[in-house]
A and B are shown apart, each in its own frame.
Chain A
Amino acid sequence: MIDPAAPVLDIRSVGKTYPGGVEAVRNVSLALPRGQLLALTGESGCGKTTLLKLINRLEDASGGLILYEGEDVAEMDPVQLRRQIGWVMQGDGLFPHLTVQENVAIIPGLLGWSADRTRARVAEWLDMVGLPAGDYADRYPSELSGGQRQRVGFARALAGEPDLILMDEPFSALDPITRDSLQQEFRDLQARLGFSAVMVTHDMAEALIMADQIAVMQDGAILQQGTPVDLLEAPASDYVSGLLETPRRQMRAIRELGA
């Protein structure tokens, strides 16, 4: 049985060294309480995407322990593990030869749901992400806008009813207005459904707005971890202050316009 008080994800002293000696992730420990959104942030090459892929074993850790719902992922079948965890990637990752309906129905299909149950749930998910099934189910990804495609991407990740979703820069390819509304809708969905999420983003403002917890990474290691308020009030180093400076300066600039 799943203990609601236990963390969904418990990462302990995890490292990843590639053949050739490059250390992408060094001695990372993190815990994700149920229902929260954790943002992994830092500059390109800091190891945040690699860390994300260690969780659903798209990459295998070289050392340490990752517990998902209390189970060591290294002991689990990677395919089964990935079907239990939602996966959203940059630029949607939809299959261009499948319709919206078929893209969303993939995971229920992999999980062996009945056709009736799949159809009903897919329609529900599409409605939930703001794409009424009647209008969108039979369209192909190429017939949708970027924002619509990303919505389908969310519906696909949620279709297997996972309690954890992993997201790699899910909003970075969208225009600012679409991004803003999708960020809000995602938080509403999360509040409604109660799943947990880990999101990789290089955009500190996005992390501050959306996340319950933020982990700042540099050279594969975590520099600081805490709530957005923790970070803003007590940045642990000059590097972290530097990352926070960009959103702060933008905020000041807007305020000075006096609107």
Chain B
Amino acid sequence: MNANLAERLAELPHLLSAHVILSMTALVCGIAVSVPLGIVAAQRPGLSAVTLNIASVIQTIPGLALLALMVPLLGGMIGFWPAFLALLLYSLLPILRNTIVGLQGIEPNLREAARGIGMTDAQRLWQVELPLALPVIVAGLRTATVWVVGAATLATPVGAASLGNYIFAGLQTRNWLSVLFGCLFAAGLAIVLDQAIRWLEVAARDRRRGLALGVGAFLVVLIGASILPRYVSLAGEAGPSNQIEASAAPGIAGETVVVGAKSYTEQYILAALMQRRLESAGARGERLDNLGSTIAFDAVRTGEIDVYVDFTGTIWATVMNRPEPVERHLMFTQMSAWLWEEHGILTLGRLGYENAYGFAMRRDRAEALGVDSLDDLAPIAGELEIGGDPEVFARAEWTATRDAYALGPMRTRSMDSTFMYTAVRDGQVDVITAYTTDGRIAAFDLAVLDDPLAVLPPYDAVILLSPQAARRPGLADALAPLIGAIDATLMREANRRVDMDGQTPAQAAAWLDGVISE
């Protein structure tokens, strides 16, 4: 079996179980909220209109945005709870709507018959209205199930593990097997749960106790099996890894350290590298991958992760909200001081390489157009299209560059960063906002344009420790050897191994570790 497949299979119990637990708890709580609400609203036309409108508005918010919005709403909390809350909201509409429609669709004749023979309101609801509306309510429940199981893959960027980890990580590292794994298992889970609910409905309608027990037992086993890996894995990992005798730094042996990563190749490699270092020091390294950019910062601020790598320019612009960049070393010093004073976050140091945004074109095309620097783009800006990752066009760097070099007429196109390098290579866009350490700049023979006005801020990679982690000297000791150890060439080569050669981030991290240790 190849290494990629083995690694994906090894992740499956954890990710599948996290996905089942997340979507099932959201669904069960969604039912607990929306069915009673639907029952109350069905008898009050004003209320049913209001609740349906609110639920519809929630439904129109794209799933990813709804999930991301929950993080600031919960005061920066990441992980299970914001994902759970967003999915719960997402499940409301179909169940609520079908409960209301199902109850309102009952023949008035039958409602009157129930009253006329002397049923109380509660008896009428339980013995007549709910059984008659059940097929419609169950149809809504099935829709909600499929939606929630699907949308739960979007929980990954807010720090909740799910099958989406396969998809987000696979997309960033061009690992299509991983993407396929995520899609197949998420779809399979949705189908299985949908069918289970269908059979429960059949069992209820035809009063087949055996069938109901069978499906119920299946669901119990599924949920039980999902909860189980959490405890088994804890027990299994309790024994320290066999590297412990290598260099047991005092303080963190046997402790758990959570390493965060944003959602792209370089971050996965660096997180894996830090994890290796921490485990060599006897700690148990846990990972929280695929965090959105600001979510990663929130997570280190609140201590939900202990350590991750960010860039001076990013913190400067998006966290400190400073519009104008300053000189590289000054920025590092000011940022470190600010983080420590404002948040107690410790900047351990610079890794040594810079990963700035750089404007890149195909070399032959740049030469044909006579373009060397950003200055040369202004006269032809109206004929060019620029591709960039989803956040770049909303960042100060882009607006500053655009205004400084009169690039306003350029058309912009957002895409996942995985695709922009091939897009510019294949001529689908003319310019991209590349990351300067990306291995594909050299591989695709792209030219990075000069920035004569020095508009683009510096982007030194820095290791940030949470306030809690900053008080654990053993942790800093374990990571200190990485400071100044990774230059742009090394980083670019490590990225290239994943993006071009199909290595896993863990393999690239092992290679990088080997080079650093020499």
Contact = CB atoms under 8 A, between A and B. Distances in A.
Interface of A: 56, 58, 79-84, 87, 89, 91, 93-97, 106-107, 110, 156-157, 166
Given A97-B131, A97-B132, A110-B123, A89 B118 contact: no
Nearest to B120: A79
A107 to B, nearest CB: 6
Contacts of B112: 58, 89, 93
B109 A80 contact: no
A97 B201 CA distance: 13
Contacts of B452: none
Interface in B152-195: none
Contacts of A84: 118
A93 B109 contact: yes
Q: Which of A58, A91, A110 has the most CB of B within 10 A?
A: A110
B117 interface: yes
B131 A91 contact: no
Given A95-B128, A96-B132, A56 B119 contact: no
B115 interface: yes
27 contacts: A56-B116, A79-B118, A79-B119, A79-B120, A80-B118, A82-B115, A82-B118, A83-B118, A84-B118, A87-B113, A89-B113, A89-B116, A91-B109, A93-B109, A93-B116, A95-B113, A95-B127, A96-B110, A96-B132, A97-B132, A106-B119, A106-B127, A107-B117, A110-B118, A110-B119, A156-B117, A157-B117
Interface residues of B, number: 17
B117 A87 contact: yes
A82 B131 contact: no
B119 A93 contact: no
Contacts of A79: 118-120
Contact of A83 (B113, B117, B128): B117
Contacts of A93: 109-110, 112-113, 116
In order of increasing CB-CB distance, the 3 nearest A-B pairs are: A93-B113, A83-B118, A82-B118
Q: Which of B112, B113, B117, B205 has the most CB of A within 10 A?
A: B117
Contact of A58 (B116, B127, B128, B132): B116
Nearest to B119: A110
Interface in B82-140: 109-110, 112-120, 123, 127-128, 131-132
B115 A89 contact: no
Q: Which of B116, B119, B123 has the most CB of A within 10 A?
A: B116
A110 B113 CA distance: 14
Given A56-B116, A83-B118, A89 B109 contact: yes
A81 B119 CA distance: 11
A107 B118 contact: yes
B469 to A, nearest CB: 61
Nearest to A92: B113
Interface in B365-396: none
A146 to B, nearest CB: 14
A95 B110 contact: yes
A58 B112 CA distance: 8
Nearest to A57: B115
A66 to B, nearest CB: 16
A157 B114 CA distance: 12
A154 B117 CA distance: 12
Contacts of A157: 117
A111 to B, nearest CB: 8
A15 B304 CA distance: 72
Nearest to B115: A58
A87 B128 contact: no
B333 to A, nearest CB: 75
Contact of A82 (B109, B117, B127, B205): B117
A107 B113 CA distance: 12
Contacts of B117: 82-83, 87, 106-107, 110, 156-157
A166 B117 CA distance: 10
A121 B116 CA distance: 21
A79 B132 CA distance: 22
Given A58-B116, A93-B109, 20 more contacts: A58-B112, A79-B118, A79-B119, A80-B118, A89-B109, A89-B112, A94-B113, A95-B113, A95-B127, A95-B128, A96-B110, A97-B131, A97-B132, A106-B117, A106-B119, A106-B127, A107-B117, A110-B118, A110-B119, A156-B117
